[in-house]
Amino acid sequence: MKPTFATAPGKVILFGEHAVVYGRPAIAVPVTQVRALARVEPAARGAGLTFVAVNLERRYALAEARRDDPLAEIVRRVLVHLKRTRAPDAVVTLDSSIPIAGGMGSGAACSTAIARALSAYLNRGRPLDDDTINDLVYQVEKLHHGTPSGIDNTVIAYNRLVYFKRGELIQTFNVPAPFQLAVADTGIRSPTKIAVGDVRKAWEAEPARYERLFDSIGTLAHDARLALEEGAVDKLGWLMHTNHVLLRQIGVSCPELDALAEAAEAAGSAGAKLSGGGRGGNLIALVNAANVDLVKEALLRAGAKSVMVTMVGEGERG
Ligand code: PMV
């Protein structure tokens, strides 16, 4: 069989994280500067399937993987879907530049890349379609994140900007006026499952307060969609700033993220917010040609471990 490979992008959530778990809308975009890359190549007859996880510097056999190993989980699901009773004799190599547990969808991107490369390997170069990949990746996300909304696998499997509401058809839209975001990494790895679990406990303790906060976040995501569709980038900064304030109120920010948000805005960003599960991971700040260098410098001075600048709206499929 011929070697195959596939890649999947990272993502950032522009608006609506956490509230999206409770049925409110959210907006997410792929970030193609960071990627997961999976490669499948033949191994000796009888060798079984072996993983090489480059970032973790690990090599292990599928047959010896722990039951909850995420790479093994996606492989098993692809095999079941393709009605294969045994794994091929192959090496599956995974290499990713997406920070792990950094709110950029690393888990969903790794699963997506593996599902595409492996299904293409077993199917004469033809990978499974996006809908099926999305569904299989969501099944794995559920094992590791408890109650995921499904936004990560959706934005990554379809590789397009999405307006996502749980249980509804995926909506996408065009962004006529592209804009730049600085994505600053706190360097703090914070598993999404823990933040999502803590929000659930807080919501159970104070349902009315949390429902109000989720409603406010959902309204921001709705208003942001209108602003993006109109090309009214000037309205986005305030919406992002307000979304961050609400995320602080639901308890998923941390001093490091707040310091980065403050520093970005003081250096000229029209608005900044945490992105993803929070408590660490990444902060996104709206920037433009006039302030991008100043904001980048300010973020690094305020403790960011790295800052990447990405463009939203260019080449979106509508
Ligand atoms: O931390 P990330 O990139 O996995 O984003 C999680 C987004 C949440 O809304 C917090 C959880 C979810 O399942 O939607």
How far does residue 267's CA lie from ligand 1's centre (Å)?
28
Return the C-alpha torsion angle 102, 103, 106, 107, nearest 10.
110
Residue nearest (by alpha carbon) to ligand 1 atom 3:
103
Q: Can you give the pLDDT at residue 317?
A: 43
- CA distances for 194 relative to 49, 57, 207, 288, 290, angstroms: 32, 26, 19, 34, 38
pLDDT, one tens digit for every residue, the chain (318 residues): 899 999 999 999 999 999 999 999 999 999 998 999 999 999 999 999 999 999 999 999 999 999 889 999 999 999 999 999 999 999 999 999 998 777 789 999 999 999 999 999 999 999 999 999 999 999 999 988 778 899 999 999 999 999 999 999 889 888 999 999 999 999 998 888 899 999 999 999 999 999 999 999 999 999 999 999 999 999 999 999 999 999 999 999 999 999 999 999 999 999 999 999 999 999 999 999 999 999 999 999 999 999 999 999 865 443
15 SS3 class: strand
Choosing from 22, 137, 152, 283 the residue with most ligand 1 atoms within 8 A of its CB, the one to mutate for a pocket test is 152
Distance from C-alpha of 195 to C-alpha of 251, rounded to nearest angstrom? 9
Q: Is the CB–ligand 1 distance for residue 250 below 6 Å?
A: no
Kindly report the pTM of this predicted structure.
Answer: 0.92
Atom from ligand 1 closest to the CA of residue 199: 10
Is the beta carbon of 105 within 6 A of some atom in ligand 1? yes
Residue 21 Cβ inside 6 Å of ligand 1? The answer reads yes
Q: What is the pLDDT, as a whole number, of residue 318?
A: 36
- The response to whether residue 253 sits with its C-beta less than 6 Å from ligand 1 reads no
303 token code pair: 């403790």
- Cα–Cα distance, 73 to 64 (Å, whole number): 13
Q: Where are the beta strands (DSSP E) in the chain?
A: 4-15, 26-42, 49-53, 58-61, 90-96, 162-164, 179-185, 272-275, 282-287, 306-312
Question: Does the CB atom of residue 141 touch ligand 1 within 6 A?
Answer: no
Q: Ligand 1 pocket, 149 CB below 6 A?
A: yes
Q: Please indicate whether residue 152, judged by its CB atom, sits closer than 6 Å to ligand 1.
A: yes
Supply the pLDDT for residue 101: 73
Q: Which of 288, 289, 284 is nearest to 247 (CA)?
A: 284
How many CB atoms neighbour CB 123 within 10 A? 12
Write down the pLDDT at residue 1: 84
What distance in angstroms lies between residue 153's CA and the mean position of ligand 1's atoms? 10
